[in-house]
Amino acid sequence: MAAPIRHIVIVGGGTAGWMAAALLSNVLPRDRLRLTLVESPDIGTVGVGEATIPPIQFFNRAVGIDEAEFMRATEGTFKLGIAFRDWVRPGHRYMHPFGQPGQAIKGVSFHAWWLRLRTAGYTVPLSDFWLAEKLADEGRFDTPSPDARSPKSTLAYAYHFDAGLYAAYLRTIAEPRGVTRVEATVADVALDPTDGTVSHVILADGRRVDGDYFIDCTGFRALVIGQALGRPYEDWSHWLPANRAVAVPSARTRDPVPFTTATARSAGWQWRINLRHRTGNGYVYVADHIDDDQAAATLLANLDGQALADPRFLRFTTGRRTQSRYKNVLAVGLSSGFLEPLESTSIHFIQHALIKFAATFPLSKDDPLSANLYNRMIGEELEQVRDFLILHYHANQRVGDPFWDRMRHMDVPDSLAEKIALFRARGCAIFPNQTLFQEPNWLAVLLGQEVEPASYDPLADAGDLSDIRQGFDATRQIIAQTARAAPRHMDYLSRLNAGSNRRGAA
């Protein structure tokens, strides 16, 4: 058998690099495998990703992170979903809440029964049964219950945090576990002439760092996977044409709310993320429809507090590396691909890549069988999320806006067209490869974007309609009572932080 991996070199720091170091240092055998991270003080990181989705909790547990300590270190707040403003039309608002609305009844999705009631004249919106949305709207927060009989069992949550502070926090975890940090700029990548694998990286001062396996965390430059190994990039800008972003932090003017806000603008959309110490803001846009100066002016005019820095501009092309694992290299983060942060998936793609890498850890430097499996899993995940993002743009009614008209009339991938057709026909939101965004997520956005089903699951025709309505009314009341009884978001954060301080003092 070929020699096993003994030394992994992480090329690049930032969020991706230190997530890799923190996870792998906890799940790989430290006595037989070394980890080295090469990080340049001269190369800045993107560092605008501040919103996450619920799977981040799994990653943090895999790393061995204490939630209270992590929240304190990163100025974190909780997130129960995303509020979309003006996406359907100006003045319209809907929310994509986490968790799910109600519980399945007799094995049939809760929303199928709601659709049946609605055809009989029931006017209560589905959002009244979505506890995460009720909490978010009232500025409250609570955690899920393991008791399936409790309405809190339907909850799920994620975090907002400062990405730069997160990377720094992960470093404090990884280095005591034996990760070696080399502060230097990588100038070149050397390949083994016998098999085409990466042999070592050459630093700007002439030193070399040898390794058996390399993780490319060099961002959009893709120094190893792209420049050295020449793995091509698949462009998805036909469907997701946004190619610029401008970001700026602003002063906090109120207690942080437990949700992200995404507001449609003429050439894209603006994000607002409330942290404990500041607010994160950005405008994702299409350069064909607005120039950089206009985009920055639009963003600055729509802040809810004083700007704390000059606007920072980013350029990108939506798409993915056709092989983000090749030879003895794994690309993680922006070097692997980029889907705009509309559903807060940037950090998720980092963690997903690392967890799948650990699950298919190479038997040797070049393990094509495991690499093929890994690339297929990553590809399916990216394509599913791509379709989910396109839906937000495509199902709009902003008639007269050139950008939004373009998105409404464009051809969509066959995989998305099928999903929309299934939902329009029978309210079906269960689709293939739902590894990340599942039935409740699709349901929230399809209904939120006013994609209306003509019918519903015929299994929901069982039972007396008046009994079903009584059950729904009772559930609605319980959801409302549970939301009102939950603590205010800021109060929950204050108690969490106080508890963390007490543990630190002890």
Q: Are 141 and 97 in contact (CB under 8 A)?
A: no
Q: Is residue 33 pLDDT above 80, yes or no?
A: yes
Q: Is residue 398 pLDDT above 90, yes or no?
A: yes
Provide the token pair at 186. 């990588």
Q: Is residue 433 pLDDT above 90, yes or no?
A: no
Q: Is residue 503 pLDDT above 50, yes or no?
A: no
Of 105-109, 222-226, 256-260, the least confident? 105-109
**Local structure of residue 227 (DSSP, 8 states):** I
**Local structure of residue 129 (DSSP, 8 states):** G
| 479-491 mean pLDDT | 97
Q: Is residue 49 pLDDT above 60, yes or no?
A: no
| 216-226 mean pLDDT | 97
Q: Mind listing the pLDDT tens digit for each residue in 323-368?
A: 999 999 999 999 999 999 999 999 999 999 999 999 999 999 999 9
Give the C-alpha separation, 214 to 406, whole Å: 41
Place of tokens 């800008």: 237
Instruction: Tell me the pLDDT band of 476, cut-offs 50, 70 and 90.
Output: very high
Q: What is the mean pLDDT of the chain?
A: 95
| Per-residue pLDDT at 2 | 78
**Local structure of residue 289 (DSSP, 8 states):** T
| Per-residue pLDDT at 435 | 86
| Per-residue pLDDT at 244 | 97
Place of tokens 């350069």: 287
- What distance separates the 2 farthest-apart alpha carbons in the chain? 78
Contacts of 504 (CB under 8 A, 6+ apart): 69
Place of tokens 């590894």: 435
β strands within 104-191, DSSP E: 158-160, 180-183, 186-191
| 59-81 mean pLDDT | 96
Q: Are 263 and 269 in contact (CB under 8 A)?
A: yes
Q: Is residue 500 pLDDT above 80, yes or no?
A: no
Instruction: Tell me the pLDDT band of 50, cut-offs 50, 70 and 90.
Output: confident
| 142-165 mean pLDDT | 95
Helix (H) or strand (E) holding 438: none
Give the C-alpha separation, 14 to 165, whole Å: 10
CA dihedral sign of residues 382, 385, 387, 393: negative
* Cα–Cα separations (whole angstroms), residue 227 to 13, 187, 208, 338, 494: 18, 12, 18, 17, 47
| 112-122 mean pLDDT | 97
Provide the token pair at 345. 């998936």
Q: Is residue 156 pLDDT above 80, yes or no?
A: yes
Q: Is residue 47 pLDDT above 60, yes or no?
A: no
| 293-307 mean pLDDT | 97
Q: Is residue 3 pLDDT above 80, yes or no?
A: yes
Catalytic residue among 79, 134, 152, 419: 79
Q: Is residue 45 pLDDT above 70, yes or no?
A: no
Termini Cα distance of the chain: 50
Q: Are 209 and 279 in contact (CB under 8 A)?
A: no
Give the C-alpha separation, 88 to 460, whole Å: 29
| 374-384 mean pLDDT | 96
| Per-residue pLDDT at 498 | 81
Nearest to 85 by CA among 240, 250, 271: 271
Give the C-alpha separation, 361 to 372, whole Å: 12
Indicate if 365 belongs to the active site: no
Three-state DSSP class for residue 254: coil
